[in-house]
Homo-oligomer: A and B are copies of this chain.
Amino acid sequence: MKGIKIVTIGGGSSYTPELVEGFIKRYDELPVRELWLVDIPEGQKKQNIVGNLARRMVKKAGVPMEIHLTLDRREALKDADFVTTQIRVGLLDAREKDEKIPLKYNVIGQETNGPGGLFKALRTIPVILDITKDMAELCPNAWLINFANPAGMVTEAVLRYGKIKKVVGLCNVPVGMQMNIAKLLEVDSSRVRIDFAGLNHMVYGLNVYLDGNNVTNKVIDMITSENPSMTMKNIADFGWEKDFIKALGIIPCPYHRYYYKTRKMVEHEIEESKKDGVRAEVVKKIEKELFELYKDEKLDIKPPQLEKRGGAYYSDAACNLINSIYNDKKDIQPVNTRNNGAIASIDDDSAVEVSCVITMEGPRPITVGDLPVYVRGLVNSIKSFERAAVEAAVSGDYSKALLAMTINPLVPSDEVAKEILDEMLQAHKKYLPKFFKE
């Protein structure tokens, strides 16, 4: 018997131990026999450190999972069952630029939103599309489980331009919301179910059920009266205006702060960047410490310090998704997939983030009907932006990139858009071959 072959592209990431732990925990029902960690030459050092830690973890756990390390993506992809992508084109240096340059213009500097999100898309999408070409050839039946951000735009790009059809985009935001709401309700998270709908990093909880009963209004009351902490490691924990949330009637995600509290978030980012540096700088430090830890030959479990890194539940989300596809679990998970009519005001062939039942045929969206009219506009604004960003990424067309930048709700003017665009194009030149063809 062969078992499952998993290929993780960007395998040298500090998140990998999460994934390894996830596979170890689930080994009985999800027998991963081969885990291939693929990386690029610049990442080889980290790949080795993480790879060795992974091997120690596997050994300690006593499961027969082989850990393969390679720089040859095509060698790894051959006959894979699942391919996970957790790449960061340009590494944390690029993220630092994504976060810093917009701030100079008093514009949100963020990895997946605003100008930073656009550039991350421009750098990442061509690489992922290349991976789908290899997959179509080497493992045409495999699922691509993409964690690489911006996961929504990457999924949109693969749905429209990818060479494979089996793709899912994954994010830990919805599961984080579920955990926070469960905590708020003081119940185990397994008793809570939420109808998620929207886009990646712009997802709403439309209804909350506790033991099958709709408790949305109660949760909204609690959110507005108790002002609980409901955010993520990388997003400042500012509460919402109570009457606003009350009238909204549904539950925004932490990233909505960038849109509904833009001014406060920009001010906060500028302040923070002066104090501790931007998030990339913070993360660099954490990563450095993590890799020091990972080097320790005595370490054979996922170190608890990894939690600071910010990807809480990512491993669980990923392993659960793979597990549910593999075992036809039919549980309900929010993922990024082809809309197919789930949300009426978004095109059928666009990517949405929506609660799906996960079967061995992949995720099947549960119908939403339409989004409440009050959020339809913002969600469609981001989809307009995503569509323009994907076109820009695929074509390398300057005017499409300026269009994407200008229509992004976080960018306040076409002139500012152009200035930021020009500066960021230069800064990321090395990773934007489509824009700088010889």
The complex places the Cα of A241 from the Cα of B420 at a distance, in Å, of: 13
A69 within 8 A of B: no
Closest to A211 in B: B360
A42 within 8 A of B: no
> A385 CB to closest chain B CB, in angstroms?
7
| A387 neighbours in B (Cβ, 8 Å) | 373-374
| A214 neighbours in B (Cβ, 8 Å) | 361
The complex places the Cα of A397 from the Cα of B249 at a distance, in Å, of: 14
- Partner of A365 from the list B193, B212, B367 (CB cut-off 8 Å) is B367
A370 within 8 A of B: yes
Taking a contact as CB atoms under 8 Å apart, the answer to whether A367 and B342 are in contact is: yes
| A29 neighbours in B (Cβ, 8 Å) | none
> A152 CB to closest chain B CB, in angstroms?
14
The complex places the Cα of A240 from the Cα of B248 at a distance, in Å, of: 34
| A370 neighbours in B (Cβ, 8 Å) | 341
Taking a contact as CB atoms under 8 Å apart, the answer to whether A263 and B413 are in contact is: yes
Taking a contact as CB atoms under 8 Å apart, the answer to whether A244 and B380 are in contact is: no
**Interface 1/0s, chain A 361-379, versus B by CB < 8 A?**
1001111111001111111
Taking a contact as CB atoms under 8 Å apart, the answer to whether B357 and A330 are in contact is: yes
- Partner of A378 from the list B243, B244, B384, B416 (CB cut-off 8 Å) is B384
A409 within 8 A of B: yes
Taking a contact as CB atoms under 8 Å apart, the answer to whether A409 and B406 are in contact is: no
Taking a contact as CB atoms under 8 Å apart, the answer to whether B345 and A345 are in contact is: yes
Taking a contact as CB atoms under 8 Å apart, the answer to whether A366 and B365 are in contact is: yes
The complex places the Cα of A330 from the Cα of B416 at a distance, in Å, of: 44
**Interface 1/0s, chain A 203-218, versus B by CB < 8 A?**
0000001011010000
A77 within 8 A of B: no
| A361 neighbours in B (Cβ, 8 Å) | 193, 209, 212, 214
**Known contacts being A380-B381, A384-B378, is A262 close to B412, with CB within 8 Å?**
yes
- Partner of A263 from the list B328, B342, B359, B416 (CB cut-off 8 Å) is B416
A56 within 8 A of B: no
> A345 CB to closest chain B CB, in angstroms?
6
- Partner of A397 from the list B247, B342, B400 (CB cut-off 8 Å) is B247
A95 within 8 A of B: no
A399 within 8 A of B: yes
Taking a contact as CB atoms under 8 Å apart, the answer to whether A407 and B246 are in contact is: no
**Known contacts being A209-B361, A357-B330, A374-B388, is A417 close to B244, with CB within 8 Å?**
yes
A83 within 8 A of B: no
**Interface 1/0s, chain A 327-369, versus B by CB < 8 A?**
0101110000001111111011000000001011100111111
- Partner of A417 from the list B212, B241, B383, B384 (CB cut-off 8 Å) is B241
Closest to A238 in B: B415
| A342 neighbours in B (Cβ, 8 Å) | 341, 367
A291 within 8 A of B: no
A436 within 8 A of B: no
Taking a contact as CB atoms under 8 Å apart, the answer to whether B383 and A403 are in contact is: no
Closest to A347 in B: B373
A46 within 8 A of B: no
**Interface 1/0s, chain A 398-438, versus B by CB < 8 A?**
11101100110100111111100000000000000000000
A25 within 8 A of B: no
| A264 neighbours in B (Cβ, 8 Å) | 413, 415
Taking a contact as CB atoms under 8 Å apart, the answer to whether B341 and A367 are in contact is: yes
- Partner of A261 from the list B243, B379, B414 (CB cut-off 8 Å) is B414
12 inter-chain pairs at a CB distance below 8 angstroms, sorted by A residue, are A247-B399, A261-B414, A262-B412, A332-B359, A341-B367, A341-B368, A344-B348, A367-B367, A374-B407, A376-B380, A377-B407, A381-B381
What are the 4 A-B residue pairs with the smallest beta carbon separation, nearest first?
A: A377-B381, A212-B360, A377-B384, A247-B403
Q: List 11 other contacts, CB 8 Å, given A340-B368, A377-B383.
A: A244-B403, A244-B417, A264-B415, A341-B367, A348-B369, A364-B366, A373-B383, A374-B384, A374-B388, A377-B381, A377-B385
